[in-house]
Structure 1
């Protein structure tokens, strides 16, 4: 039996693997953001997403390799913001998105112990992701004023529930 995936700091090589999961420019921009250069190279992607205020994480295990990627940043001095969450297409539907999100929430609290909640953006047509985020305590907070994506937030009391979500 393979050990469960664990979260670790990401490297440019991890971002390159995640890039391979979004082969079309539209999919890449939906995942990595509208300012991402397309077509992207592994080097340009890492430059575009690796900001001083953002910590990138890889989610994987020796038995499966890299199965997910995500980032955490401090938003508005209040929120642990989860960003660029993605699970390998070959590993979707196995509960790894939930495990990745809960691991990112734990890291957000470790990195920014003064947060009062979590936030993230999601496209309104990404129904599977929205259902997952709602099950983790996130609620809709309206549309982004410039991009066609929805802000979701969860209060910090969601944190005790995250320990129950790891497979």
Structure 2
């Protein structure tokens, strides 16, 4: 399956909203500023990062059906932060999380020219933590909590340009 990133369109947000079944899932995915329930039509506004500057992407398949979503924004100078990464429930376990992360990293570094990439992952989300580790992310202990790992990867040339495809 060929997939690529695009700026989300209204129908993407309808699909993405259907992937969030309850308040607990919404909190884990998007944080406490996302109310539940929410209207799919409000999702683009609800996912805005305070201070702005975020970029949102849908991962779409050959038929333009969304199968993933993620964002990036500059959390602090020198690092671009990935967040709200999700793969459609019916597409999990097929390697799309890796492809989505690789393409998000490439897009984030290209858009910002930062030298590091950061993200957060719940410690009990072992699939995500393992994926991020294989991509080169390591824990930043002083910024982690008992529940959440703060992870960082230093940018290298393989993530700039076409190594993983540019959106």
Q: TM-score, normalised by structure 2?
A: 0.86
Cα displacement (A) at 1:148: 3.8
Q: Aligned with 1:63: secondary structure?
A: coil
Kindly tell me the number of residue pairs found equivalent between the two proteins.
162
**Where in structure 1 do 4 or more consecutive aligned residues deviate above 4 Å?**
143-147, 161-166
Q: Distance in 2 between matches of 1:147 and 1:16?
A: 33
The CA deviation at 1:109 is 1.1
Partner of 1:40, secondary structure, is coil
Query: CA RMSD of the aligned region, Å?
Result: 2.3
Give 1:47's aligned residue.
Answer: 45
Compared CA separation, residues 26 and 18, structure 1 to 2 (3 A) = same
The residue number in structure 1 matching 2:97 is: 97
Deviations 1:8-40 (A, max 9, x none): 111343223111111111001101112111121
Aligned residues of 1:80 and 1:119 also touching (Cα < 8 A): yes
Gaps (5+ residues) in structure 2?
Answer: none
For the 8 Å contact 2:106–2:164, the answer to whether it is kept is: no
Question: Is residue 58–residue 69 contact of structure 2 (8 Å, CA) maintained in 1?
Answer: yes
Alpha-carbon distance in structure 2 between the residues aligned to 1:17 and 1:123: 24
- The verdict on how the C-alpha distance between 1:90 and 1:100 changes in structure 2, with shifts beyond 3 A counting, is same
Q: Which blocks of at least 5 consecutive residues in structure 1 are unaligned?
A: none
Cα distance in 2 for partners of 1:135, 1:145 equals 19
CA distance in 1, matches of 2:118, 2:96: 19
Q: Residue 37 of structure 1 contacts residue 45 of structure 1 at CA under 8 Å; is this kept in 2?
A: no
Aligned to 1:34: 32
Query: Is the alpha carbon distance of 1:12 and 1:33 closer, same or farther for their aligned partners in structure 2, counting shifts above 3 Å?
Result: farther
